[in-house]
Chains A and B, each alone.
Chain A
Amino acid sequence: MKKVASKWMAAGMALLLAVAAGCSQAQPSGTDGTSSNTGTTTPASSDKKETVTLRFATWDTDQMLKIQQDIAKQFEQKNPGVKVQVEAYADGFDQKLVAAFGAKNPPDVMYMWDFPTYNASLEPLDEYVKKDPSVAIDDFYQGLLNYNRFDGKLFGLPAGFSTRVVFYNKKLFNEANVPLPTDNWTWDDFKSAAKQLTVRDKKQYGFAVRSEPDTYDLQQFVWSNGSSFISPDGKAIEGYMNSKETAEALQIFSDLAKDKSALLVGGKNQQSGNDLFKAGKLAMYDNGVWSLESYKKANVDFGTVVMPQFPGKPGKGVIATSSVSIAKDSKNKELAWEFLKFFVSSDAIKMRTSDLPVRISVVQEKKLDQDPLYAPFYKTLEQSTDTPAFLLNPHWNEINRNLSAAVNAIMMGQNAEELLNKAVKDSQKFLK
């Protein structure tokens, strides 16, 4: 018999917090975190006998994790006496991180993206960047840095990223005599291609629509249609989340599923668009760079292209970033900064082959922005100038619950405008 998992876990976690809090006080406190050294000296080098342990938390697994362990090892070689403890929290990243912050015993450096939730516990990096020109802040894409700012302060530096593009199966396009998509295709082109590429008898589909998409990813379609989920100042959703343009953008996907030119794929561990694309059963799929290698391994003859546009409106993109931040409670801030700086240095960025380089110089050196497979990701990055909703309002989490419910119902074929109006009505209380 299963226990009341939630209750036990809630209580167990609270107990862990208490225990961890006790432990953290007993720990020796490395080098003094408040010293105002400039970043040019490594505190560790002066401390030869004792090894200093630096904790680094990541949400990655498998190949990505291996790369980060390699980066950590290189840092250890360059800084004798330093041990980098890579803590892989995987799917439980947020739970473990929140618990660690709550217990005042956080990792020194960690992967980060949710700056609204964690910014109060993170070290602002503006001073470090100003004092330490070797980080070469101008070498990062400006669009990526925007995603690392909250309340005007810089709380993280990007280590890797992906934008979303359409992957398409060239063989299926050729078989159906459909012209391959181009950089300036429209949603009408997309829809007619999806329709022609769907062959019900062969269980082949033009596109796959997620029945429970992350509203975060949908933002770029809403932006591209000239609207947004929330006003630029983050204070209003009426007229934004439920605008005609928002409804229209979301309706595209629901319509595709309704007329069966797209397959509705489930969340979680159900049959994913990814598997179908690899099996050659899916002609088009929107995704980040993460699956590119596995598509290659599956021997799919595929290309990438930017998302379709709404006629007469500029295309917009949304970014998924893996940034790195320093904990405010870190006892080793100078060393943490050294590690963070190394983690986003050109050398380390080049080692990260599972997502996209964040440094302009690395991209130019590898000519990625000219590679037909990778260029659409960077073209979309140039179009990623809008700020995602969660960075604009501290209560977005709660608002998003209502929006998600509406979006899921829209994907299942219900009326978009009605549902969005309801989501706005239900969410108004969180704006006050």
Chain B
Amino acid sequence: MTVQPKKLKGRAFLTPYLFILPWILGFLAFTLGPMLFSLVMSFFDWPVVGEVTFVGLDNYVNMFTDDPLFWQSLWVTIKFALLFVPLNLFIALFLAMMLNQKVRGSGFFRTVFYLPSVISGVALAMIWAWVYDGEYGIFNYLLSLVGITGPNWLNDTSWALVAMVIASLWGQGSMVLIFLAGLKSIPESLYEAASIDGAGAVQKFFRITLPMVSPTILFNLIMTIISAFQQLSLALLLTGGGPLQSTYFYAMFAYDNAFKYFKMGYASANSWFMFVIILVLTFLVFKTSGKWVYYEGDNRRGGEEA
């Protein structure tokens, strides 16, 4: 039997809304408002200084038909996402499982792995510039110790994007933390029962850990896809999109159009296309999630088992 919540009236009705009013105002002024404004801008030729003219769908059409940089940057971003998303999820889950072990000093390691997430992007980029330097960098020095001559990472078209992937993997502390929380919520009794039934570590992982943590994987997967497609700061600070546009991410393409060439309308169109891409990908992930995500107490699943 469900209980109907009592209807709030007068001041009692208003109070909760007043509490969240600052957020609502901020959202309207700094998120929704500008978003809608950029949608409007995307149908204009909007040079900031000079005449604003309505051009209809021209910005969108130009993007697809007349701008090789659009395709180049999109391709770079997709390549990055294909490398980054699986690696990031895998490593974050692996680290979280390591940190979940009951060993002395695990608190220390949790702090250490979270630390890079606290460092500002600019400082991180500075460090990576030094690490990746082809001639005097620490990375190639370490490689030389095992007899490998490393490439000039950031100046090599075939390695620059890989370097971006590796550097991006560093800032995943928050993802590890979320995984860790997911792992912590798995009841110990399940593992105990499995042990009694004679299950090994591998079986425990695939039969208990993975299904139980799958909602967290779904969340992290979506967040990783979004962050992969919005990749900007590292390349902006380290390579400027080079060499030969091999790290020219889509976000940088839009950024350049807006703030280097001051084509606000065109950049808005770029951004909205990105919005659509992310929307579609997120939708697809959600669509397929029913097949692999397990929710405890979910009736559909429970029914199947019976």
* Binding partners A and B: yes
Interface residues of chain A, those whose CB is within 8 Å of chain B, are 1-15, 17, 94-95, 98-99, 101-102, 117-118, 120-121, 203, 211-212, 263-271, 397-398, 401, 405, 408-409, 412
Can you pick out 6 interface pairs between chain A and chain B where the beta carbons lie within 8 Å of each other? Answer: A6-B251, A7-B254, A94-B259, A98-B48, A268-B240, A408-B243
Q: Are A271 and B239 in contact (CB under 8 A)?
A: no
Q: Specify the chain A residue showing the minimal Cβ separation from B49.
A: A101
Q: Are B48 and A397 in contact (CB under 8 A)?
A: no
Q: Are B271 and A99 in contact (CB under 8 A)?
A: no
The interface size of chain B toward A, counting residues with CB under 8 Å, comes to: 56
Q: Are A405 and B245 in contact (CB under 8 A)?
A: yes
CA distance A124 to B230 in the complex (A): 43
B246-279 vs A, CB cutoff 8 Å, 1 = contact: the mask equals 0000010011001111101001101110110000
Identify 6 new A-B residue pairs, CB closer than 8 A, beyond the known A1-B223, A2-B232, A268-B129.
A6-B254, A15-B37, A98-B48, A118-B49, A268-B239, A270-B133
CA distance A285 to B263 in the complex (A): 36
Q: Are A271 and B49 in contact (CB under 8 A)?
A: no
Which candidate, B11-19, B86-94, B98-106, B152-160, is the interface stretch facing chain A?
Answer: B152-160
A92–chain B nearest beta-carbon distance, Å: 8
Q: Are B271 and A203 in contact (CB under 8 A)?
A: no
Asked whether any CB of chain A lies closer than 8 Å to the CB of B206, the reply is no
Among the interface residues A3, A266, A269, which one has the most CB atoms of the partner chain B within 10 A?
A266
B147–chain A nearest beta-carbon distance, Å: 17
Q: Are B230 and A11 in contact (CB under 8 A)?
A: no
Q: Are A10 and B238 in contact (CB under 8 A)?
A: no
List the count of A-B residue pairs having beta carbons below 8 Å apart: 143
Q: Are A269 and B230 in contact (CB under 8 A)?
A: no
Question: Known interface pairs A10-B38, A15-B33. Does A1 touch B226 (Cβ–Cβ under 8 Å)?
Answer: yes
Q: Specify the chain B residue showing the minimal Cβ separation from A106.
A: B49
CB contacts (< 8 Å) of B251 on chain A: these are 4-6
Asked whether any CB of chain A lies closer than 8 Å to the CB of B195, the reply is no
Q: Are B38 and A5 in contact (CB under 8 A)?
A: no
Our pick among B35, B49, B135, B237 for the contact of A203 (Cβ within 8 Å) is: B135
Our pick among B41, B230, B258 for the contact of A9 (Cβ within 8 Å) is: B258
CA distance A266 to B34 in the complex (A): 36
Q: Specify the chain A residue showing the minimal Cβ separation from B232.
A: A5
Q: Are A408 and B49 in contact (CB under 8 A)?
A: no
Interface residues of B in 99-122 (CB under 8 A from A): none
Interface residues of chain B, those whose CB is within 8 Å of chain A, are 29-31, 33-35, 37-38, 41, 48-50, 69, 125-126, 129-130, 132-133, 135-137, 152, 154-155, 157, 223, 226-227, 230, 232-233, 237-240, 242-245, 251, 254-255, 258-262, 264, 267-268, 270-272, 274-275
CA distance A212 to B246 in the complex (A): 13
CB contacts (< 8 Å) of A120 on chain B: these are 49-50
CB contacts (< 8 Å) of A3 on chain B: these are 230
Q: Are B34 and A8 in contact (CB under 8 A)?
A: yes
Question: Known interface pairs A11-B35, A268-B239. Does A99 touch B48 (Cβ–Cβ under 8 Å)?
Answer: yes
Our pick among A10, A94, A268 for the contact of B41 (Cβ within 8 Å) is: A10
Q: Are A263 and B135 in contact (CB under 8 A)?
A: yes
Q: Are A11 and B37 in contact (CB under 8 A)?
A: yes
Q: Are A211 and B242 in contact (CB under 8 A)?
A: yes
Question: Known interface pairs A14-B38, A412-B157. Does A98 touch B49 (Cβ–Cβ under 8 Å)?
Answer: yes
Q: Specify the chain B residue showing the minimal Cβ separation from A271.
A: B133
B45–chain A nearest beta-carbon distance, Å: 14
Q: Are B243 and A397 in contact (CB under 8 A)?
A: no
The 3 closest A-B pairs by CB, nearest first: A11-B34, A7-B271, A6-B254
A419–chain B nearest beta-carbon distance, Å: 11
Q: Are B48 and A266 in contact (CB under 8 A)?
A: no
CA distance A317 to B38 in the complex (A): 43
Q: Specify the chain B residue showing the minimal Cβ separation from A99.
A: B48
Q: Are A2 and B240 in contact (CB under 8 A)?
A: no
CB contacts (< 8 Å) of B35 on chain A: these are 7, 11
Question: Known interface pairs A14-B41, A408-B243, A412-B243. Does A269 touch B126 (Cβ–Cβ under 8 Å)?
Answer: yes
Our pick among B126, B132, B242 for the contact of A267 (Cβ within 8 Å) is: B242
B102–chain A nearest beta-carbon distance, Å: 30
Q: Specify the chain A residue showing the minimal Cβ separation from B224.
A: A1
B228–chain A nearest beta-carbon distance, Å: 11
Q: Specify the chain A residue showing the minimal Cβ separation from B125.
A: A269
CA distance A118 to B11 in the complex (A): 55
Q: Specify the chain A residue showing the minimal Cβ separation from B253.
A: A6
Our pick among A15, A17, A101, A412 for the contact of B244 (Cβ within 8 Å) is: A412
Q: Are A14 and B264 in contact (CB under 8 A)?
A: yes
CB contacts (< 8 Å) of A99 on chain B: these are 48
Our pick among A9, A98, A270, A401 for the contact of B154 (Cβ within 8 Å) is: A270
CB contacts (< 8 Å) of B135 on chain A: these are 203, 263, 271
Our pick among A102, A269, A397, A405 for the contact of B237 (Cβ within 8 Å) is: A269
CA distance A409 to B72 in the complex (A): 15
CB contacts (< 8 Å) of A203 on chain B: these are 135-136
Among the interface residues A4, A120, A398, which one has the most CB atoms of the partner chain B within 10 A?
A4
B80–chain A nearest beta-carbon distance, Å: 14
Q: Specify the chain A residue showing the minimal Cβ separation from B258.
A: A10
CB contacts (< 8 Å) of B271 on chain A: these are 4, 6-7, 10
Question: Known interface pairs A5-B255, A6-B254, A268-B239. Does A14 touch B125 (Cβ–Cβ under 8 Å)?
Answer: no
Q: Specify the chain B residue showing the minimal Cβ separation from A102.
A: B48
CA distance A397 to B232 in the complex (A): 22
CB contacts (< 8 Å) of A397 on chain B: these are 261
Q: Are A268 and B227 in contact (CB under 8 A)?
A: no
Q: Are B136 and A271 in contact (CB under 8 A)?
A: yes
B151–chain A nearest beta-carbon distance, Å: 12
Our pick among A11, A94, A264 for the contact of B152 (Cβ within 8 Å) is: A264
